[in-house]
Amino acid sequence: MCAAATLLGIAVAAAETPLPRPKPDIPAASKAPASGKRSVPLPRPKPPVGGNGAAAAIALESKPITASRRGRLEVKLDDLGRERDPNVASDLRPSENSKWTSAQIKQARDRCTFVLAATNLDAKPIKPIGGPKGCGIAAPVKVSSFGAVRVRPAATLNCTLAATLYKWVVEEVQPAALKGFKQPVVEINSYAAYQCRSRRGVGGGRISEHSFGNALDIGAFKLASGETISILKDWSGTGSFFGVNKKARFLTRTHKGACKSFATVLGPKANKAHKNHFHFDLGRDGRYKICQ
């Protein structure tokens, strides 16, 4: 991956730290924090070793996951791995006709267990999609929130991308919102997640990273006050440069910050096709990097 081995999670002052979210199997009402509250998504605390549940059964000495001195589980993105070989993925064609093997599904689900244990993702594991010879995700998750940040509509992704997006929300999106607006982002508009298609939907073209659940398009952000920041309406290179447009500065900062973690970052300055959204994907394992 293009990012150096980076630990998920951020340190937040105790007075500002929100209470842990309920366990995934316990329904919880999703409420937006009041305007001005510094509520940011945080990793879950370390589960008790020897307890019940998938998270408790994880061996903490396993390579992709560690426990901090504060008892917080952290995922090393560079050690998390991928569901498929990025060397051959770009040569595939959009099709869901092939199937994953039991071993591939188990390996992918084990990877997801690491991610869900160590982050505050509200993500529901769903049935495997497609297979390795075309479109599909061996262990897809439907992400409905990154901690306190709702995802609407819920996005179907692979777990490695979900973990990387979580990192971006924690380290780039929320700090930019708190700096620019003195309040957090509480919702992200998911423009496009998993889709079995070619790039730009062109027949016969190269397969899209969306076909692997390895890309997410984002159209807008919503603040705790209810105010919306739209990429189509609020992106402005000049407004951001001269510091006269808070929304433009926020979008520029979050776009630039995404380039640290993703292989491909596209927005309005890339081309007309991206004038209304940001596109993030993990691409071909760091062999190229595009930030436009």
pLDDT in tens, 198-207: 876 655 668 8
3-class DSSP state of 114:
helix
* Torsion, Cα of 234, 198, 122, 223 (10° steps): 0
Whole-number mean pLDDT of the chain?
A: 77
- Cα atoms found within 13 Å of the Cα of residue 102, Cβ hemisphere only: 0
243 exposure class (CB count in 10 Å sphere: 0-12, 13-18, 19+):
exposed
3-class SS string, 149-179: EEEEEEEEECHHHHHHHHHHHHHHHHHHHHH
Residue that has been written with the tokens 């209470």 in this structure: 19
The more confident residue out of 169 and 198 is 169
What average pLDDT does range 243-267 have in this prediction? Answer: 90
Does pLDDT of 83 surpass 60?
Answer: yes
3-class DSSP state of 13:
coil
Q: What is the pTM of this model?
A: 0.74
The more confident residue out of 288 and 5 is 288
Give the pLDDT confidence score for residue 269 in this predicted structure: 87
Cβ-based neighbours of 96, under 8 Å, separated by 6 or more = 129, 130, 131, 134, 135, 136, 196
